[in-house]
A and B are shown apart, each in its own frame.
Chain A
Amino acid sequence: MRKKVLAMLLTAAMSVTMLSACGGGREGSSTSDSSDASTEETADAGEDSGDAAEETSSEGFEADATIGIALPWLGTQNWAEAQDMFKEQLEAEGFSAIVQAADQKVATQQQQIESMIENGAKVIVVGPVDGSQLGTVLEKAKDAGVYVLGYDRLIENTTGVDGVVQFGSVKTGELQGQALLDGLKEKKGDGPYNIELFGGGPADPNAPNFFTGAMSVLQPEIDAGNLVVVSGQTDFTQCATEDWDNKKAQQRMDSLLSGNYSDKEIDGVLSPNDGIARAILTACEDAGQPVPVVTGLDAEDESVKLVWEGTQYCTVAKPTKDLVAKTVEIIKSLQAGDGMPPTDVTANNGKVDVAIYELDPTVVTQENAKEVFADDEARMELLQ
């Protein structure tokens, strides 16, 4: 009986919604919120302006507007930090922030971005799961007059992006390569040194750049015979770690060691980030190898500790703080109606040239750790 009553109520509710909804015409119906109306205007404005970032309309928007932050996942420390910092800083600036992570699923991220548009976001910051698979939704955002900023990774294959904030990825790679060389000289005496190379997730457009940057330093040394890649695997595709997955890196390292190092010692490993660095260290330990010189990236707590203890040779800090600060700065400029800040660097993403806002990373070793983290309380605590 109760079910039937419920059913009646529902039927009634549905018909009321329907009737009330039917009152409106094509534009600005009674059920849709105010964002729809403003959407129309800005979309028209968007059509007039060109593609390049600097030219986008510079009317600005309300100081308490909604800002959407779409992150790929929360599986590594830097993304988790980004989530907290964005929420904190944007709300401190008076914006209302929607921060969502997509659990590494492209479809989920697409739907999250769409729901941010629905929620009337004025700027959407996207740390993409796969930088080339968001074309449709980002263009939809652009049509709706929303500014789209790429965060940490380049966004490819679409016209719907206004700028990208990231650490110089080639530069990062160069730093990693140089650090590996320095570390080998410092820790392993004279060469030639036996090394192995690891790359990041191939779906992340930064990963090949890291690798290219590192190889620009390492390749001359390999050619000169000072470095020996024992496995012979020097192509990015051979060295890549799918999805930046530590587990897969460890499996690869295990097989490299068992296949090539039964009678040799490994001296150094180029690792694209800290998680993979730790996986490599674990694999070496399991195989009974002496601790090799291993690079890293992201300055995760766990690895900062290892660097401080001398196990992991170095990491490269790309302070999330800096990246978030730069992003928020751009958002504020957009809010004020000043448009995208000027920049010299652009990158072609396959469709258009995108403005790039590059930050410089810092190499962290046992020696300089205390300096680098001087004003980072949480990390200083790790260095005890």
Chain B
Amino acid sequence: MKQIKQVLGGDLRQYTMVLALAVLIIFFNVISDGRMLTSSNFQNLLSGNAYVLILALGMLMVIVIGQIDLSVGSVAGFSAMAMCILAQKYELPWFIGVLIAIAIGLAIGAWHGFFLAKLGIPGFITTLGGMLMFRGGVIWISKSISVPAPEELRFFGSGYLPEWGPTFTGMNNSTLLLGIIAIVWYIYTELKRYKSEASIGGDSATPLWAVVTRVVLVSLLLAYFTWLFGSGREGTSFPVPGLILLILIFIYHTITQKTTFGRHVYAVGGNKNAAALSGVNVSRTYFLTMMNMSLLSAIAGVLFVGRSTAAGPADGTSWEMDAIASVFIGGAAVSGGVGTILATVVGGLVMAVLNNGLMLMGVGADKTQVIKGLVLLAAVAVDVYNKNSGRSSIIGKLFPSKESTEKKEG
């Protein structure tokens, strides 16, 4: 047992949600006669849920600072609709349209940030106002009629990486390249970590064989998914929205774990007063976090209309709830200070796989919602139970720089 623990690199309990995700995938794959683990299904899964996961990345940071953003759906709908209307009316090139959407997102974020950071109005209220305003705004500017999106955006919303190079690989070579990069990068970081662990914290270092086993297992898994995404119908590959999502995950994981700003986000969420006394500019942290959330909302909106080929007046309705659910399934605390990007992504994927699997089984949207609600409650209940019984928070601490910190809620 100890060996397995060392291979996984820490506390097994941290992996509860990852295990749940694996169980779900295998369960649905068996029950749907293998329709879950197919190239096209996983491609759909990523393209169809990228926007929610992107929202969840920003929402995680908002929830960590102890706030909530109810406006993300409306902001996504509004910025995408404004982009489509302007692009259509003035025949703007698509990238100008995207820049406009992003600018709108930033402006709205600054607006929310101003009310929260400068006037001290709670985020819940600030963004409830934003939710109403921008939902109304979408309907207003669109006159309640859907507007076609610039053609080129379909590449970002549902496109595939190009085909090139030799055919003997038996799969899309862009995807193959991506997979190889991922595997090499993983091996590199693991070895680097092993080295630094060995040189500094000599007593608690993981043995080499465990690191090697871990690297081999994860590499196999990555290789499998590379193959899964790359071997679909000719012309398909790892989807472009999935790639955008991956890049954003990488960026936000780095921001939250490896930058001063990220530390400040956790500090403000953990103990605002202590953070202020440690020289953290609390209101600036609030401001930037809210602004970032609306920026990501705009990006999510653009991806969504890219896939939908048009911006609709109801776009974004209740997206905030999906994003918030992903964050909490990922083990974040309502009181703030706890939660990681990677755990949030796992939380979002659990929701997505659940959705997808139930649809493959032909379960209706009504029952799917009931099941999703139960899963949300169950995930958070297990987390709270674990915290209360004095054990480490399972999910919240999912691989954050490999700590087994015994955090308790303050």
Binding site for B on A (CB under 8 A): 1, 3-4, 6-8, 10-11, 13-15, 17-18, 21-22, 24-26, 29, 31-33, 36, 39-40, 43, 73-74, 98, 100-108, 110-112, 114-115, 117-119, 129-136, 140, 143, 156-158, 201-203, 237, 240, 242-243, 350
Contact = CB atoms under 8 A, between A and B. Distances in A.
A110 B308 contact: yes
Contacts, number: 181
Contacts of A117: 40
Contacts of B232: 26
Contacts of A3: 12-13
A115 B39 contact: no
Contacts of A13: 26
B366 A101 contact: yes
B187 interface: no
B220 A74 contact: no
Contact of A24 (B4, B231, B359, B364): B231
A-B complex: 4 closest residue pairs judged by Cβ atoms: A135-B309, A202-B144, A133-B308, A115-B359
Contacts of A140: 158
Interface string B1-40: 1001100100011010001001100100100111101111
A14 B26 contact: yes
A39 B41 CA distance: 14
A1 B12 CA distance: 10
Contacts of B8: 7
B37 A240 contact: no
A36 B38 contact: yes
Contacts of A18: 220-221, 223-224
Given A111-B355, A202-B145, A74 B313 contact: no
Interface in B241-295: none
Given A26-B170, A202-B313, 9 more contacts: A26-B232, A33-B33, A101-B366, A114-B44, A115-B356, A118-B41, A132-B312, A158-B309, A242-B144
Nearest to B146: A132
Nearest to A11: B217
A115 B314 contact: no
A118 B35 contact: yes
B148 interface: yes
Contact of B365 (A17, A98, A101, A131): A101
Contacts of B39: 32
Contacts of B165: none
B15 A7 contact: yes
B143 interface: yes
A314 B167 CA distance: 66
A242 to B, nearest CB: 6
A8 B29 CA distance: 19
Contacts of B307: 110, 136
A157 B310 contact: yes
Contact of B312 (A14, A29, A133): A133
A157 B359 contact: no
A134 B305 CA distance: 10
Nearest to B322: A107
Given A13-B26, A106-B312, A111-B355, A29 B44 contact: no
B365 A242 contact: no
A132 B158 CA distance: 16
Contacts of A108: 365
A5 to B, nearest CB: 9
Given A132-B310, A157-B148, A203-B312, A100 B19 contact: no
B16 to A, nearest CB: 8
B299 interface: no
A33 B314 CA distance: 36
B319 to A, nearest CB: 8
Nearest to A240: B144
Nearest to B318: A105
A29 B356 contact: no
Given A10-B19, A26-B170, A31 B34 contact: yes
Contacts of A24: 231
Given A14-B221, A22-B224, A134 B308 contact: yes
A114 B48 contact: yes
Contacts of B40: 36, 117-118
Contacts of B143: 202, 237
A136 B146 contact: no
B205 interface: no
B202 interface: no
Interface in B115-154: 139, 143-146, 148, 154
B146 A130 contact: yes
B166 interface: no
B407 interface: no
B315 interface: yes
A335 B144 CA distance: 38
25 contacts: A3-B13, A7-B12, A10-B23, A18-B224, A21-B224, A21-B227, A25-B231, A26-B171, A26-B231, A29-B231, A32-B35, A33-B34, A33-B35, A43-B233, A103-B365, A104-B314, A105-B365, A107-B48, A110-B308, A115-B356, A118-B40, A133-B146, A135-B308, A202-B145, A202-B313
B313 A242 contact: yes
A102 B139 CA distance: 21
B317 interface: yes
Contacts of A39: 233
A134 B148 CA distance: 11
A15 B22 contact: no
A79 to B, nearest CB: 12
Contacts of A22: 223-224, 227
Nearest to B8: A7
A113 to B, nearest CB: 10
B191 interface: no
Given A8-B4, A10-B19, A74 B312 contact: no
A32 B364 contact: no
A243 B13 CA distance: 45
Given A7-B12, A26-B171, A203-B313, A103 B157 contact: no
A29 B234 CA distance: 14
Contacts of B44: 111, 114-115, 118
A4 B4 contact: yes
Contacts of A157: 146, 148, 309-310
A4 B146 contact: no
Contacts of B15: 7
Contacts of A4: 1, 4-5, 12
A202 B220 CA distance: 50
Chain A CB within 10 Å, residue with most, of B1, B170, B314: B314
A106 B231 contact: no
A106 B308 CA distance: 8
B304 interface: yes
A118 B356 CA distance: 11
Nearest to B1: A4
B368 to A, nearest CB: 8
